[in-house]
């Protein structure tokens, strides 16, 4: 049983890795390519509006579908949709109108959240009940490695844009993901994560107070990251620091890789302190200090490159710990038989935070610059910390 569970876990992780590479690459390709075409920061943010909005809808409906059909089905549906989204963007430049790109990004957003919800929910079903230490290790390893690979995807996107151009880069990514999808379809059991009882759609809304408080905190936590990271940081590096595409993509890639490595190492980092609600409260308070300190430093006219690079490194480390704790707590709070529903509801809040953060990143940078985005981030973290105070012990 253990060997089979481990094999399925590694297969899910491998498929998630491949998907994540394309997700990171497509994000960097769109941001850099459309900035090169002359789009404003706010217009670039709008390209991701449907990507994030449909993530909210997908997590709500996807958890219900996974519960009824099985996580294997929803995971591979997400992969197939991502292949389609990549192919949709590999068209002549004249066809890349704003509505068309927004629609393609909507398909990619649905695909990403179907895949993520299915992969993370499946971990709960592969770990025997009561083994919280193994659950914590497996979920943060999956999440941390995924984020490291997303960083590699950022670099891959920037490199492919430079070497082969926008359209050819997308076709290479689509063909690679299609091959991985076919391989995982052959390995994973068809009934993975399928509920033993029929689930009503109304059950997707959580009646668990702990999950509701955690979901609300997650909304503001990820909004706090994306409000300056998604649009403001790469555009600031390119336009104000005068870094070229490869430098921007490489730094963003290294940041996300480091973030993922720290996230995967959180069980070792927190050995002296249990992974529980109190740890989440402590580390969200620590996170608040960083954007406040960066904003004050930039207002005092410190060297902007040094403040941005050092601040991003520290923020990435502390944010990784926060994210890992949240990822564990949602699975710890969720019932084993209805885990896909609860995880879907939780990641609906995550997607909502990303949506608001993405829009405010473009708008805030255009109106108030990087300093304004950092103050918005601090406000979001304050709300996440306040909400985490309501979390009960596991």
- Catalogue all structural domains in the chain, each as residue range(s) with its CATH number: 2-188+206-388 (1.20.1250.20)
The whole-number pLDDT of residue 298 equals 92
Can you give the pLDDT at residue 130?
60
Judge contact between 182 and 16, C-beta under 8 A: no
Question: Which pTM was predicted?
Answer: 0.69
Task: Tell me the two tokens of residue 312.
Answer: 């991003």
- Give the span between the Cα atoms of 375 and 364, in whole angstroms: 10
Please tell me the predicted confidence (pLDDT) of residue 363: 87
Q: How far is CA 336 from the centre of its chain?
A: 23
What pLDDT sits at residue 110?
Answer: 85
pLDDT digits (tens, 9 = 90+) for 37-55: 887 777 887 787 788 778 7
Q: Which pLDDT belongs to residue 337?
A: 47
Nearest to 89 by CA among 24, 184, 14, 168: 168
CA 272 to chain centre: 28
pLDDT at 383: 94
Considering only CA atoms, which of 337, 393, 325 is closest in space to residue 129? Answer: 337
Query: What is the predicted pLDDT for the residue at 1?
Result: 42
For residues 108-117, one letter each, b for 16 or more C-beta atoms within 10 angstroms of the residue's C-beta and e for the rest, the string is bbbbbbbbbb
Closest CA to 357 of 158, 157, 213, 218: 218
Cβ burial, residue 253 (10 Å; 0-12/13-18/19+): buried
Query: How many residues can be counted in the chain?
Result: 394
Residues of the chain with pLDDT under 70: 1-6, 9, 62-71, 120-136, 189-207, 270-275, 334-344, 394
Rg of the chain on CA atoms, in Å: 20
CA 206 to chain centre: 21
Name every residue whose Cβ is closer than 8 Å to that of residue 282 and which is 6 or more positions away in sequence: none
Q: What is the b/e burial string over 165-203, where b = at least 16 CB atoms within 10 angstroms of the residue's CB?
A: ebeebbebbbebbbebbeebbeebeeebbbbeeebeeeb
Question: What tokens does 328 get?
Answer: 């564990």
- pLDDT at position 2 is 46
What are the structure tokens assigned to 248, written together?
A: 């921007």
Contact call for residues 32 and 158 (beta carbons, < 8 A):
yes
Identify the pLDDT of residue 344: 67
- Three-state DSSP state, 274: coil
């Amino acid at each position: 049983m253990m060997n089979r569970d481990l094999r399925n876990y590694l297969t899910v992780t491998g498929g998630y890795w491949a998907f994540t590479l394309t997700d990171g690459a497509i994000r960097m390709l769109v941001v850099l390519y459309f900035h090169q075409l002359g789009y404003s920061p706010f217009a670039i943010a709008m390209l991701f509006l449907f990507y994030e909005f449909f993530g909210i809808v997908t997590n709500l409906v996807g958890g219900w579908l996974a519960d009824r059909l099985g996580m294997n089905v929803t995971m591979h549906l997400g992969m197939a949709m991502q292949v389609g989204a990549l192919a949709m963007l590999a068209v002549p430049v004249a066809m890349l109108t704003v509505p068309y790109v927004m629609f393609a990004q909507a398909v990619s957003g649905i695909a990403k959240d179907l895949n993520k919800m299915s992969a993370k929910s499946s971990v709960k079903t592969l770990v025997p009940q009561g083994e919280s230490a193994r659950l914590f290790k497996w979920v943060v390893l999956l999440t941390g490695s995924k984020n490291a690979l997303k960083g590699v995807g950022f670099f891959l996107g920037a490199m492919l844009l430079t070497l082969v151009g926008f359209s050819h880069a997308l076709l290479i990514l689509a063909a690679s993901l299609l091959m991985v999808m076919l391989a995982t379809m052959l390995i994973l059991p068809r009934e993975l994560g399928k509920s033993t009882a029929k689930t009503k759609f109304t059950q997707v809304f959580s009646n668990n107070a702990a999950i509701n408080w955690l979901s609300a905190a997650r909304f503001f936590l990820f909004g706090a990251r994306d409000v300056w990271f998604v649009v403001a940081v790469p555009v600031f590096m390119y336009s104000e620091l005068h870094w070229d595409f490869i430098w921007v993509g490489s730094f963003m890639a290294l940041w996300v890789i480091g973030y993922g490595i720290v996230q995967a190492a959180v069980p070792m980092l927190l050995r002296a302190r249990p992974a529980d609600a109190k740890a989440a409260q402590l580390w969200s308070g620590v996170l608040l200090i960083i954007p406040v300190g960066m904003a004050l430093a930039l207002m005092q006219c410190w060297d902007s490159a040094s403040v941005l690079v050092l601040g991003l490194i520290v923020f990435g480390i502390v944010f990784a710990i926060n994210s890992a704790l949240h990822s564990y707590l949602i699975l710890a709070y969720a019932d084993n038989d209805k885990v896909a529903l609860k995880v879907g509801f939780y990641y609906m809040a995550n997607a909502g935070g990303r949506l608001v953060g993405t829009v405010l990143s473009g708008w805030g940078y255009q109106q108030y610059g990087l300093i304004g985005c950092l103050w918005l981030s601090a406000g979001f973290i304050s709300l996440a910390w306040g909400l985490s105070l309501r979390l009960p012990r596991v």
